[in-house]
Chain A
Amino acid sequence: MAEVFVFATLNGLVTGLLLFMLASGLTLIFSMMGVLNFAHASFYMLGAYFAYTLSTYIGFWGGLLIAPLIVGGIGAAIERYGLRRVHQSGHVAELVFTFGLAFLIEEAVQFFWGRDTKNYQSPELFDFALFSLFGQEFSAYRGFMIAIACLIFAALYFILTRSRVGIIIQASISHPQTVANLGHNVPLIFMCVFGVGTALAGVAGVIAGPVLTTFPGMATVLGSIVFVVVVIGGLGSLPGALIASLLVGLLQSYAIAADVGVPELLNQFGVSFDSSHPLDDLWTLNLPQVAPVLPYLLLVLVLIFKPTGLMGNREE
């Protein structure tokens, strides 16, 4: 049982940190522009696909370096020529725009790369087990994923709180007018933040692609869960995003690992049902079965009891 617990924790950590890489960009964009970017996971997918194509020419490391730049460039261009225009029509229009963008990017990926899963491999450098515990291996690549995610959090946190750029960004979040009056180009800052946010999603795609398979549905699988993370953490809060990411990651991982369900629970009280009962499906429910929807349940509960999210301080 101990080894299940240890590995469930590790797995939850990896999933959580991966979610955080996406959530950090999303929450940055949100806190700045008030845009909930529905297409965020699509940039993650683009990162994986670009990296796949690049890796066939210049190897994994080249892909890791260049793919996020391409994705960030695309993101910045979309902000400049798309979102900025839609911004005039209000927040709903922006949301709907990113919603359509997500749809279009998925189609475009199928158009350019085809619908098959792509043979995107992790570098051979990491083809060894970082450590072996209770007979199970923890691959070095997963360790690398954890390291990158921690690096991103540290860098972001440092830039936002300790650097001049960060101060300007934070100021444009709360007082865009004042910042503009001080002579800063606020639209340019917005564009850069959007570009950096999408590039972060791109990084996540590049490193997640080899382990979570690169296929056209990879954005959909992750899309709404990232949203959930950002909202649970509190819109616009970076630490909140980190906490919520880890919470969601660990919650799912533990739920899958735990082999308990309603039958076990009922047995505690000495109740049991036979399988012909009309509510049989309910009595045989177990935790691993419902693991993927737990984040949504958490989301609804958090929003009902604390509409600002765990660490957030504003609603809109």
Chain B
Amino acid sequence: MKKQFPIWLGFALALILLPQIFDTVLGISILNQMTIWIIFALSYNMLLGQGGMLSFGHAVYFGLGGFMSVHALNLIADEIIVFSITLIPLVGGAVGLLAAFFIGSFSTRKSGTVFAMISLGIGELIVASSLIFADFFGGEAGVSGDRTYGPPFFGIEFLQDAEVYYLGAFWLFVATLFMYLFTQTPAGRMANAVRDNPERAEFIGYSTRRVRFISFCAAGLFAGVAGGLFAINYEFITEENLNALTSGRVLLMAYIGGLGFFIGPIVGAVILTLMNSLLSNYSEMWMLYLGIMFLLTVLFLPRGFAGFIMMHQTAWQNRRLGTLILPYLITAIPASLFLAGFVGLVELSHKGDDTLSFFGLILGTESMLSWGILLTLAGIGALGVKLSRPRLDAAWVLANTVTSDNGGDAQ
């Protein structure tokens, strides 16, 4: 922990400084989303990455925490209870924990497919009941509240999103810290052991079921905290925050980021939030790109983006990271050409009678030349990648070979 102090300090500083850099309404709103999704994705990683439990219904704890938090906001507004809204994430967390406690008591008995299927079934049941019990869940319109009531926090009434951001950043820091510390506790360590080899864990006297149950409850707690933050930020919550789509999204985040690394879900949450909020403004086809990117990640980066970064550890230790820069750049140029060509083709085929403005060119769907330009571009790009790959691979092997010379340098 001591060694990592600079990292945590840097994290805190980044959280404080980010809204100064991205200070538009949109920027703050994206940052706010990120705080929520990072906590949620980290909590999901406690299940899948650290505990080996694949869940298709993790949004249940997020959503239930959020619903209860919005109801708490309303109770505060009606002056039925006196409670600072800064502590709302605790309400969410408590509800998430409680729900996980009940559901986990039978769902964590088995891992693997049985666990995954129970999580799917429970998820669908909760979503269905959310539409039936309209008093609590508000039907398809959801329930809404107002965060500006209740006792002000040192004069802050949380009228603006920026004020909410700092509240979210505080909770993000606290939650991240606790989730990290959890991985260092015996319970967290045992979760890894049970994931990797349940039989051995049983042999040395641990109940795998209990270990899974503890991880499950902790994950539910932090998912609930994220749900509470959601409630404060958006001041409403609907059924869609409980459903399989949200569960799928958090799975995507954790996986794209990299399951094996603590930082992975953070990377995934940041990437997906950015794609979701920015890409969709430029293209109707953004979901298609997202799907393709996801599949490519699963195929070629099985350990996610964080895993990709960590792949360079050896080269870094060999002090040969620099030798990779040029080969990377050489491959990146045709790769981006291919990407541009491909995106152009996708966009153009979707334009109908409109034209597509593509790097200053105006392309029409009926002009053969337009298609030709894009196809050539993609073709050249693909060819270029194919040609430059051997060089990159060679450089990669070289950078990762430990020579006695470098070994000496490293010490």
Chain A interface residues toward B at CB < 8 A: 36, 82, 85-86, 88-89, 91-93, 95-97, 99-101, 103-104, 107-108, 111, 224, 227-228, 231, 235, 278, 280-282, 285, 289-290, 292-293, 296-297, 299-300, 303-304, 307, 315-316
Contact = CB atoms under 8 A, between A and B. Distances in A.
A289 B131 CA distance: 10
A293 B124 contact: yes
Contacts of A93: 298, 302
Contacts of A280: 135
B113 A97 contact: no
Given A86-B298, A99-B248, A100-B298, A92 B133 contact: no
Contact of B113 (A224, A278, A281, A316): A316
Contacts of B25: none
Residue in A85, A95, A100, A290 whose Cβ sees the most chain B Cβ within 10 Å:
A100
User: Sorted from nearest, which 5 A-B pairs have the closest CB atoms?
Assistant: A104-B291, A293-B128, A89-B302, A299-B121, A107-B288
Contact of A282 (B48, B133, B302, B346): B133
Contact of A303 (B117, B259, B290): B117
A231 B117 contact: yes
Contacts of B106: 304
Contacts of A315: 110, 112-114
A103 B286 CA distance: 12
Nearest to B135: A281
Contacts of B117: 227-228, 231, 299, 303
A224 B255 contact: no
Given A100-B298, A111-B346, A289 B120 contact: no
Nearest to A104: B291
Contacts of B294: 100, 103-104
A47 to B, nearest CB: 20
B397 interface: no
5 contacts: A103-B294, A107-B287, A231-B117, A296-B128, A299-B118
A111 B285 contact: yes
Contacts, number: 114
Given A93-B298, A101-B295, A292-B128, A227 B287 contact: no
Interface residues of B, number: 43
Contacts of B118: 299-300, 303-304
Contacts of A107: 285, 287-288, 291
Looking at B48, B244, B255, B291, which has the most chain A CB atoms within 10 Å of its CB? B291
A88 B300 CA distance: 11
Interface in B297-313: 298-299, 302
Given A100-B294, A111-B350, A315-B110, A296 B54 contact: no
Contacts of A228: 117, 120-121
Given A93-B302, A100-B295, A231-B117, 19 more contacts: A86-B298, A91-B112, A96-B251, A100-B291, A100-B294, A104-B288, A104-B294, A107-B285, A108-B288, A111-B285, A235-B113, A285-B132, A290-B128, A299-B118, A300-B118, A300-B121, A303-B118, A315-B110, A316-B112
Contacts of B135: 278, 280-281
B114 A303 contact: yes
Nearest to B300: A85
State the majority secondary structure of interface residues on A: helix
Interface in B243-299: 244, 248, 251-252, 255, 259, 285, 287-288, 290-292, 294-295, 298-299
A282 to B, nearest CB: 7
B143 to A, nearest CB: 14
B329 interface: no
A271 to B, nearest CB: 20
B122 interface: yes
B125 interface: yes
Contacts of B129: 293
B134 interface: yes
A97 B48 contact: no
B216 to A, nearest CB: 15
A303 B121 contact: yes
Contacts of A227: 117, 120
A86 B299 contact: yes
B298 A92 contact: no
Nearest to B298: A97
A316 B292 CA distance: 29
Interface in B89-134: 106, 109-110, 112-114, 116-118, 120-122, 124-125, 128-129, 132-134
A292 B346 CA distance: 37
Given A99-B251, A111-B288, A224-B120, A82 B128 contact: no
A106 to B, nearest CB: 8
B120 to A, nearest CB: 6
Interface centre among B121, B294, B299 (most CB of A within 10 A): B121
A273 B52 CA distance: 46
A43 B361 CA distance: 38
Given A281-B135, A296-B125, A296-B128, A86 B302 contact: yes
A36 B113 contact: yes
A128 B120 CA distance: 41
A16 B288 CA distance: 32
B248 to A, nearest CB: 7
A92 B112 CA distance: 9
A175 B292 CA distance: 35
Which of B113, B116, B135, B259 has the most chain A CB atoms closer than 10 A to its own CB? B113
B260 to A, nearest CB: 11
A278 B136 CA distance: 10
